[in-house]
Amino acid sequence: MQPAEHLYTLLKGERNIVITMHQKPDGDAMGSALGLYHFLKSLNNNVTVISPTNWARFLNWMPGCDAVIDFEADTVKCTAILDKADILFCLDFNSMHRTKKMETLLLGAKCVKALIDHHEQPAEEHFDYGVSDITKSSTCEMVYDFIMASPFADRLDLNIAACLYTGIMTDTGSFRFSITSAATHKAVAHLKELGLEHSVIHENMYDNFLENRLRFIGNALLNRLEVLYEYNTALMAISKYDILKYEIKTGDTEGLVNYLLSIEGIKVGALLIDRVEERKWSFRSKGDFDVNELARNHFEGGGHKNAAGGRSSETIEYNVKRFKEVIKQYELQLQ
């Protein structure tokens, strides 16, 4: 995988460029994709953003989101666009399997493939160009760096700034996580100097939900929370019944796992959600406990040291039982 900066000579011109991200994109995935989209469009390229799946409705305010195509909803159209692509940018994921049903198509694509990502253990063999940096707060910060290091840094505008700020803000937990660096704050300061109104973005991301989500969270905290004090761990398992009862949509469970770490003394939070096709895990931790290792070794997942995810085709009951067995192995680390 050659350095990403070697791509700059390929970006100016009427090239067909596709940008994609991981399934069920969050603020960082969608923000980095749309930030790069506006940048590449300003260089007179024909750019398309394809999401492997649908996304949370609270992301729809983002400039350019109305042009994003859902692969699952329009597979034929997306396939045709990918067939004609000259360059494919893959953002905010470290392996093609995180694009769900797009994986085979992306692996077989004949175009130039580029990676911009901050997750551990990237599958570099699948990409011609790219950058992988686990010390970065977000893929949005990396796209900012990519733009600023290019000969076209003057193309950075308010649309790009709004998209990139969204991912930086969400992936740093509104700048509270330890991954937030001086460089992160300097990037945000630059975006503010351009005229970015950050409070509007916070409102769009965090004050834009339906009543049923708040009632769902209340029920989850009251009836689904289990605290394993002997392991300084909190566990929450959300059933299909809860999902249906409260009409939970994509994105409505965003941030729920973070409530678990707000309990005094808790070092690990684990959220399990019973989705239609599989069970999905979200892990968060404080300090030195590595949930990336936990997810990779036991729950078919991975991510970052303090934030990771996993999956399972087994029942929700089996997963809860297995988690309780696995966490015992880490008792000494969690004291």
Domains and CATH numbers, the chain: 2-206 (3.90.1640.10), 211-330 (3.10.310.30)
Locate 43 and state its tokens. 């260089």
Look at residue 158 in the predicted model and tell me its pLDDT.
98
Residue 120 has pLDDT above 90, yes or no: no
pLDDT band at 335 (very low <50, low <70, confident <90, very high): confident
Helices 158-171/198-206 angle, 10° precision: 50
CA gap 236, 256 in Å, rounded: 9
pLDDT band at 13 (very low <50, low <70, confident <90, very high): confident
Residue 127 has pLDDT above 90, yes or no: yes
> Could you tell me if 296 and 237 are in contact, meaning their C-beta atoms sit under 8 angstroms apart?
no
The pTM of the full predicted model, rounded to 2 decimals, is 0.90
Look at residue 129 in the predicted model and tell me its pLDDT.
97
DSSP for residue 236 = E
Q: 209-259, pLDDT tens digit by residue?
A: 999 999 999 999 999 999 999 999 999 999 999 999 999 988 899 899 999
Look at residue 173 and give its three-state secondary structure. coil
* Pairing of the two strands 268-274 and 279-285: antiparallel
Residue 12 has pLDDT above 90, yes or no: no
Better-predicted residue by pLDDT, 95 or 37:
37
Average pLDDT, integer, range 269-278:
92
Look at residue 250 in the predicted model and tell me its pLDDT.
87
Look at residue 277 in the predicted model and tell me its pLDDT.
83
Locate 178 and state its tokens. 């330890």
Residue 70 has pLDDT above 90, yes or no: yes
